[in-house]
Every structure is written in structure tokens, then in C-alpha cells.
Amino acid sequence: MDIRFQRSVDRWAGIPACAALSLWHRGARSLFRRKATHPPKRILVILLSEMGSLVLAEPMFRRLQERFPAAEIHMMLFARNRQLLDLLGVVKKENVIAIRDDSLTHLLFDLAKSFWRMRRAKLDAVVDCELFSRISAILSGISGAPRRVGFHRHTQEGLYRGSFMTSPVPYNPYRHLSHQLVTLADALESGAVPRSKDGSLAAAFSPPIFHPAPGEVENEIAQLHRDHPTLSGKTLVLLYPSGGLLPIRAWPLQHYVEVAAQLLKDGHAIGVIGMPDDRSLAEQLRFACGENSNCVNLAGYTRSVRHLMSLFHRASLLITNDGGPGQFAAMTPMPNIVFFGPETPALYASWSPHSHAFYSHLPCSPCLTAYNHRNSPCDGDNQCLKRILPAEVLAKAREMIASASPVGVHSHA
């Protein structure tokens, strides 16, 4: 569904629904509320948004498993993100509630099914990982769980999500998202007010590691070379020029073209990756490079996130806009360059030692925040990204390629 339509529904339907749920919980507390189990035996995690956020949430799942080893973890997410969750292996497949959001009909149907699944599960606790989405708050409120943890505005104006979280955690825009999600897990049994006062998290988390099956990477690389023989024996650099759901996050296409042209002159091969809908954008980039045979359009080529990460073992570098691919790359040995501007690396950058973030620190950046539902006030002239110059990116790219292990260049040719 169109993201503007989702925001509109979230506002006009979400606000009265959250208000109604708040009144219900206040009035029915003594009549219908189940007693909380200590420690919780069945915990539902709600994280509907982009796949990249799932990678950043992996430390939170680890924390839940460490603190509540006997608990059964359930997960609710959008169906389009299911493949990455299965790859991470943090939740049993039978405990996943997948919501389709490709149409309003599918969304409403799956939400109705999810209500009954939550009720049948007799949940002890819900951890709502969405920042200020009202749909996830509503799902928490109707889950039947006696404990509900989620981000809360406290005395801030706006961003109303009701008052039915039993363990409200203040959203902190100065802390990395992985740290904040771990705080939600800790808040389940915290007695402090606010709940986020208990611990101190300053250390970086290591990204989860993608473990391919025996022979999987070799087979996928061999197939890639059969499909695109021009890539054999060459250092491969992957580019992801799409902004995904939020085009304002995209580094200018012409900047990508300039970097790609120079890397082709250096003798490297270029692969432009993306979803099937990105094929025309990838073709523009390929055509702008003079239709060089060493620049191939791989948008829509990969069958799944797993397939994509197998191909990451073949490449020596990924250059990407902020989004899922940069987070997936952090799960592999491949170096990557990620562009930030509308969003900040302070909250969303990977902690992989192989990752480098470019960020311009303009006064208006970041402009996509939890406080505006990622609805930027920018007129489309994203200077925060345009001022990241191709020359400096090219210099960093050459440096990272030179220091990268030559995995897959000759051994799979």
C-alpha cells in the first residue's frame, strides 16, 4: 500500500482507536485483566517495519532469550519481511504471525486473524518495537497480554498512542536503535520509573552472521557467472541506487554513475542490485555508463534475501543508500559504504567493522524521525546527500576494495 495512505489511516483511525482502548483498559482493568506471570512464559514481539530493522533488533531477541530462557517467543511482522526473520532464526516458524500489507483487504483480513491467534496464545507480555506507529500499539492493546511494553511520549506533544502500555519506555533519539530495543526487553521486569533507567549500554553489538549451507555460496556464484559471464575473474562492486519506500534517502543517480564509470575504468565489474521494481532505475545507471558489458543489471535477479547474501560473498564492495541492503551486508564479510542524510547513522548505522557511513551533518538532518512518522518536510532537494561528492566516495571505495579479501574473484570463476 502507498505509504501516504498508511500514514493517513494511522492518524485518522489510529488516534480514536488508541483513545478508546485507553478508556477500556482503564475501566475494565479490575474486571478482565489477567494476572501477569513472573517470569513471562509467552512473549510477543511486534516489529512490522523494514527488514533492516530486524537486523538491528537481533540483540533484543538475544536479550529476551538470556533473561527468559524458558519463555516462548512469538513474532508479528509484515509478510514481506518474513524471509529475513526465518534467516535470523530467532523465532520458531510456527510462532510467526505474518501480516500482508500489499492491499487494504489483505491487511484487514490478516489483522483479524492475528487477533484470534494472539488471544489463543494466552500471551503474558507484548514488546512493541515500533517507534510511534499506532497500529502496533493497537495490536498490543487488544492482545490480551497483561504486560505491554512500548515506546511512549510521556510529556511530549503529539505522537499520541494511548495510555495502555503497562511498561512505557521513553523514546530516546540520541541512542542507537539496537540499544533502545534492548531497553524494551529489559523493561519487561523493570520496576524503575522510567523503565529505561536500569542499565547502561554503551558498547556496540556485533551484527548477526549469515551462515550459508555447505556449497550454497559456491553454487550461487557459479550460477551468477553462467548468467553473466562478463563478471567472471573480475572484482565485483555492487550498487543499490534505490531509495526503496522513501526515495528521499537516495544518493543522486548521477553520483552513482560517476563512481561506477571510474570503477569500470579501474577494471572492476559493476552489478546494480534492487527489487524487480528497480529494474528501470538500474537500467538507467547501466545505460549512463555507456552500456559497458562489465556493468550488469541485477535488479530483480535475486530470488530472496538469502540468495542476495550468498552473492554478497562474491563482491568486494557494496555502495548503497540507507536501507535493508546495508544491514544485510553487515551479516557477511563484504565491505560496504552507506549514505545517510534524511536519517542518521547515530541511530541506524551498522556496527560492522567492514561498514563506512557517509553523513553531511546539515542543520536539517536527520529529517525522517519518529516525531514526524518519517514524513520529511524536505522539498525534495536532499542536499544532505547531494553534498556527499563522488570523488570522496570513489577514494573510500578504492581504499576498501584494495583492503578487501578477494573472496570469489578467481576461485569461483
Task: Compute the distance between CA of residue 308 and CA of residue 387 in angstroms, rounded to an integer.
Answer: 30
Task: Compute the distance between CA of residue 128 and CA of residue 185 in angstroms, rounded to an integer.
Answer: 10
Mean pLDDT of the chain: 90
Lowest mean pLDDT among 139-143, 151-155, 226-230, 280-284: 151-155
CB 187 within 8 A of CB 169: yes
**Domain ranges in the chain?**
3-197, 216-403
Residue 405 has a pLDDT of 64
Q: What percent of the chain has pLDDT over 90?
A: 73
Decide whether 3-197 matches 216-403 in CATH topology: yes
Of the ranges 33-37, 99-103, 171-175, 388-392, the best mean pLDDT one: 388-392
Give the burial class of 99: count Cβ atoms within 10 A of its Cβ; 0-12 exposed, 13-18 middle, 19 or more buried: buried
CB 164 within 8 A of CB 148: yes
406 confidence band (pLDDT: 50, 70, 90):
low
Which residue in this structure is represented by grid cell 576498501? Answer: 400
Q: Which three cell numbers, joined as nine digits, stand for 92?
A: 520458531
Task: Compute the distance between CA of residue 104 and CA of residue 1 in angstroms, rounded to an integer.
Answer: 7
pLDDT in tens, 357-368: 999 999 999 999
What mean pLDDT do residues 255-274 have? Answer: 96
Please determine, for residue 34, whether its predicted confidence score (pLDDT) is greater than 70: no
9 confidence band (pLDDT: 50, 70, 90):
confident
Task: Compute the distance between CA of residue 99 and CA of residue 79 in angstroms, rounded to an integer.
Answer: 5
Residue 369 has a pLDDT of 87
Sign of CA dihedral 17, 20, 21, 22: positive
CB 107 within 8 A of CB 139: no
Three-state SS for the chain is CCHHHHHHHHHHCHHHHHHHHHHHHHHHHHHHCCCCCCCCCEEEEECCCCHHHHHHHHHHHHHHHHHCCCCEEEEEEEHHHHHHHHHHCCCCHHHEEEECCCCHHHHHHHHHHHHHHHHHHCCCEEEECCCCCHHHHHHHHHCCCCEEEEEECCCCCCCCCCCCCCEEEECCCCCCHHHHHHHHHHHCCCCCCCHHHCCCCCCCCCCCCCCCCCCHHHHHHHHHHHHCHHHCCCCEEEEECCCCCCHHHCCCHHHHHHHHHHHHHCCCEEEECCCHHHHHHHHHHHHHCCCCCCEEECCCCCCCHHHHHHHHCCCCEEEEECCHHHHHHCCCCCCEEEECCCCCHHHHCCCCCCEEEECCCCCCCCCCCHHHCCCCCCCCCCHHHHCCCHHHHHHHHHHHHHHCCCCCCCCCC
Which CATH number applies to 3-197: 3.40.50.2000, 1.10.3720.10, 3.40.640.10, 3.40.50.2300? 3.40.50.2000
Residue 413 has a pLDDT of 36
What mean pLDDT do residues 378-407 have? Answer: 91
Q: Which three cell numbers, joined as nine digits, stand for 394?
A: 570513489
pLDDT in tens, 178-212: 999 999 999 998 888 887 776 666 677 889 999 99
Task: Compute the distance between CA of residue 340 and CA of residue 384 in angstroms, rounded to an integer.
Answer: 8
CB 242 within 8 A of CB 250: yes
CB 106 within 8 A of CB 98: no
pLDDT in tens, 313-358: 999 999 999 999 999 999 999 999 999 999 999 999 999 999 999 9
Q: Which of 120, 38, 127, 32 is nearest to 77 (CA)?
A: 127
Sign of CA dihedral 272, 278, 283, 288: negative
CB 58 within 8 A of CB 208: yes
Q: How far is CA 281 from the centre of its chain?
A: 22
CATH 4.10.80.400 fits 216-403, yes or no: no
Q: What does each C-alpha distance from 343 to 17, 250, 337 come to in angstroms?
A: 29, 11, 15
CB 49 within 8 A of CB 118: no
Task: Compute the distance between CA of residue 349 and CA of residue 56 in angstroms, rounded to an integer.
Answer: 9
Q: Which three cell numbers, joined as nine digits, stand for 159?
A: 505522537
Q: Inter-axis angle of helices 305-312 and 216-227, to 10 degrees? A: 90
Which residue in this structure is represented by grid cell 489483522? Answer: 111
Looking at per-residue confidence, does 97 or 103 come out higher?
97
Max Cα-Cα span within the chain: 73
Residue 29 has a pLDDT of 57
What mean pLDDT do residues 38-60 have? Answer: 92
410 confidence band (pLDDT: 50, 70, 90):
very low
What mean pLDDT do residues 163-174 have? Answer: 90
